[in-house]
């Protein structure tokens, strides 16, 4: 089974900061990776799929990159509404999550 | 606009079977482009994929749950369902249904909390 490991698990940042979250796969998965944002009490929201394709309606400050075993999600300039938990996913596995908190 | 809605008991006794239904509106569950899945999230924890089904009835299950999970589809009602047998407290979670396209879940239900307790 493919395992996904996110780092860091917790991240403290300020509005306007640039942040990067990493997701490492236990074996190569080409570009078969998605990123989700989840806010408390809500369902996850798809942000990026196929490693780097922005889902319709998602702000352009979100970007994804990578292939094979290492992937990144970057938020170029944090906005107040971006403080949430982020998950990576390949079709049958989710990463453990990265909680992004306000510094 | 596509909407998914989970329904079912919010409380299940240990050793019994958890049963949930997802009703799809605003689109057809029989579309050849999509799979339909169940994902769960224990309180305060991360997401766990449970399984997926195609409108034809083809299923894929999480190996760690496979012996206890059954997912089925009713195209006439535009619904798909989850059954999880022999539940324990570890199965307490918010259960989400979602639509999968090319591997990613773009549409989700709001989720329903199922508590396993006597």
Q: Which of A50, A87, A91 sits opposite B46 (nearest CB)?
A: A87
Q: Which residues contact B68 (CB under 8 A, 6 or more apart)?
A: B84, B85, B86
Residues A65-92: what's their mean pLDDT?
96
Per-residue pLDDT of chain B (118 residues; tens, 9 = 90+): 999 999 999 999 999 999 999 999 999 999 889 999 999 999 999 999 999 999 999 999 999 999 999 999 999 999 999 999 999 999 999 999 999 998 899 999 999 999 999 9
Average pLDDT rounded to a whole number, residues A71-86 = 96
Interface of A with B in 58-97 (CB under 8 A): 87, 89-97
How far is residue A36's CA from residue A47's CA, in Å, rounded to a whole number? Answer: 5
Interchain contact, B102 vs A89, CB within 8 Å: no
Each residue of A40-60: pLDDT tens digit?
999 999 999 999 999 999 999
Residue pair A89/A73 in contact by the 8 Å Cβ criterion: no
In chain A, residues with a C-beta closer than 8 Å to the C-beta of B47 are: 36, 38, 44, 87, 89, 94, 97
Q: What is the pLDDT of residue A56?
A: 95
What pLDDT sits at residue B66?
96
Instruction: Give the mutation candidate from B105, B110, B111 for the A interface (greatest A CB count, under 10 A).
Output: B105
| pLDDT at residue B32, rounded to an integer | 87
State the pLDDT at residue B79.
97
Contact B68, B82 (CB under 8 A): no
* pLDDT > 90? residue A1: no
Question: What's the rounded mean pLDDT across residues A54-81?
Answer: 97
Query: Are B103 and A34 an interchain contact pair (Cβ–Cβ within 8 Å)?
Result: yes
What whole-number distance in Å separates Cα of residue B112 and Cα of residue B116?
13
β strands within A2-97, DSSP E: 4-7, 10-13, 19-25, 34-38, 45-49, 53-54, 62-67, 70-75, 85-90, 93-94
Q: What is the mean pLDDT of residues A32-41?
A: 97
Question: For chain A, what is the total number of helices (H) and then of strands (E)?
Answer: 0, 11
Question: How far is it, in rounded angstroms, from Cα B106 to Cα B92?
Answer: 24
Q: Do A86 and A72 touch, CB atoms closer than 8 A?
A: no
Q: Is the pLDDT of residue A103 over 90?
A: no
> What is the C-alpha to C-alpha distance for residues B102 and B108, in angstroms, rounded to an integer?
15
pLDDT at B6: 98
């Amino acid at each position: 089974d493919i395992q996904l490991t996110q780092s860091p698990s917790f991240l403290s940042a300020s509005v306007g900061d640039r942040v990067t979250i990493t997701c490492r796969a236990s074996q190569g998965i080409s570009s078969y990776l998605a990123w989700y944002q989840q806010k408390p009490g809500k369902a996850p929201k798809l942000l990026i799929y196929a490693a780097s394709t922005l889902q319709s309606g998602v702000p352009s400050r979100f970007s994804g990159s990578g292939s094979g075993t290492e992937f990144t999600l970057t938020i170029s300039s944090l906005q107040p509404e971006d403080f949430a938990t982020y998950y990576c996913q390949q079709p049958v596995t989710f990463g453990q999550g990265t909680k992004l908190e306000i510094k | 606009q596509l909407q998914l809605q989970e329904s079912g008991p919010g409380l299940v006794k240990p050793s019994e079977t958890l049963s949930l239904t997802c009703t799809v509106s605003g689109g057809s569950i029989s579309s050849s482009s999509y799979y339909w899945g169940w994902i769960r999230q224990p309180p305060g924890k991360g997401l766990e994929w449970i399984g997926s089904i195609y409108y034809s009835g083809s299923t894929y299950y999480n190996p760690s749950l496979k012996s206890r999970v059954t997912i089925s589809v009713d195209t006439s009602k535009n619904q798909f369902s989850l059954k999880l047998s022999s539940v324990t407290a570890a199965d307490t979670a918010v259960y989400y249904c979602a639509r999968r396209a090319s591997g990613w879940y773009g549409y989700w239900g709001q989720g329903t909390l199922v508590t396993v307790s006597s």
